Amino acid sequence: MRLLLRNIVRDSKRSSLLRIAAAAVAGSGVAFANANADNKPELSIGISAPLRKHLERPWHIGQITDSCPAFLSWDQLQSGILPTFSFRAIPALPDDVKKEVPADASESPKPCPHCLGRDTIATAAARVGPAVVNLSVPQGFHGITTGKSIGSGTIINKDGMILTCAHVVVDFQGLHSSSIGKVAVTLQDGRTFEGTVVNADMHSDIAIVKINSKVPLPTAKLGSSGKLRPGDWVVAMGCPLSLQNTVTAGIVSCVDRKSSDLGLGGMRREYLQTDCAINAGNSGGPLVNIDGEVIGVNIMKVLGADGLSFAVPIDSVSKIIEHFKKSGRVIRPWLGLKMVDLNEMIITQLKERDPAFPDVKRGVLVPTVTPGSPADRAGFQPGDVVIEFDGKPVGSITEIIEIMGDKIGIPIKVVVRRAKDARVTLTVVPEETNLDI
């Protein structure tokens, strides 16, 4: 696009246009100033295609700073040098928007209680911050101290119970109670305590540290991770590299990232994926929603990648804590089934591939049965679709896990559908998982 502006000095309106054009050229075009055959000033401007679309819209003149010249001199035009100045042009408001603009600034709408405002993240961090602690555990070999493990934690009750990661406070080379020892705990206000690891679950990487205090301790409120959606704002807090009171913010990227997606073996686990910045020392620290509630425990990040951080959902953590209180450990029933959630699209695709696939609306597909497992002994077959578990209709693996709870050695009735809509009732007796194998 090429603009030609003539008689600039004599015409005040064109002088204003020149100021707009000059500002545009400063960022997005090329200008040439010269005189034409009639010895009149002429300015040629080459403008990029994206900017051309903006210039074709109606514009209002915005703010011009005091350093802006009132006009351009003939000498400046002859030399081809244009003075620089600050300029901000404001697009004209559509008619329907103009009607909604309040006449008086005092009539501006009040902030939405659930919207992200100027102080939303700061307020959320302030609610949880005092309860976030720095943890330090000496590491050694045969009694020789070789370093220390650092991490973070959150005080979750006034009795001094601190929620953190197992890998922060327990040596993974010693997976039993002999490795559980003392932890140095530092609060945000500078107070220090000696904590004791009272519970640790290696599979979920969740642990509880206990401290005793004669004065009240700050606590954080546990929220719910079940209501989170991708795109929700979250805050990661902790002590990365022992830098206390560190706060970073981001959004939830995925609410149910499976451990198999991350190449992690063992039993099935699910994580919250966020793009919050976390580093060594953040492990065990809280992931907080904008209401100032703990909705996850930061556990790991992907090395060599930005914006890939993971946390254990607080709903899973709450169940683990209940296991700790009830049994002192986490009891996990084992069936020996590999299961896949079914939805309408997957069912349609499976029916297209195999017309004999059972006619179901929802359920859990069993593609693999472990030989010699409780499920194998109960008569499960690859291709079965579980539609009822312990008398309740099911449509997801999560529902089966919740119904099964910590039932070990208790017979459970399971209804499955097979090829050509055969309906079969099986009885399976769960065994406790042996995670040391």
Catalytic residues: 167, 205, 283
| 418 φ/ψ angles, rounded to the nearest 5 degrees | -120, -175
Q: Is the dihedral of CA 31, 35, 37, 39 positive or negative?
A: positive
DSSP sequence for 286-330: EEEETTS-EEEEEEEE-TT-SS-EEEEEHHHHHHHHHHHHHHSS-
User: Rounded CA gap, 97 and 116, in Å?
Assistant: 23
Q: What is the 3-state secondary structure (H, E, C) of 239-275?
A: CHHHCCCEEEEEEEEEEEEEHHHHCCCCCCCEEEEEC
d(CA 410, CA 398): 19
Q: How many whole angstroms separate alpha carbon 201 and alpha carbon 35?
A: 82
Per-residue DSSP letter, 78 = H
**Is 59 within 8 Å of 89 (Cβ atoms)?**
yes
Closest by CA to 249, choosing from 176, 205, 329, 309, is: 309
As a three-state string, the secondary structure of 88-102 is EEEECCCHHHHCCCC
The token duo for 392 is 């309740």
Query: What whole-number distance in Å separates Cα of residue 366 and Cα of residue 387?
Result: 11
16: three-class secondary structure by DSSP: helix
Tokens standing for residue 388: 């009822």
Report d(CA 162, CA 195) in Å as an integer.
9
Three-class SS of residue 396? coil
* Surface-to-core class of residue 273, CB atoms within 10 Å of its CB (0-12 exposed, 13-18 middle, 19+ buried): buried
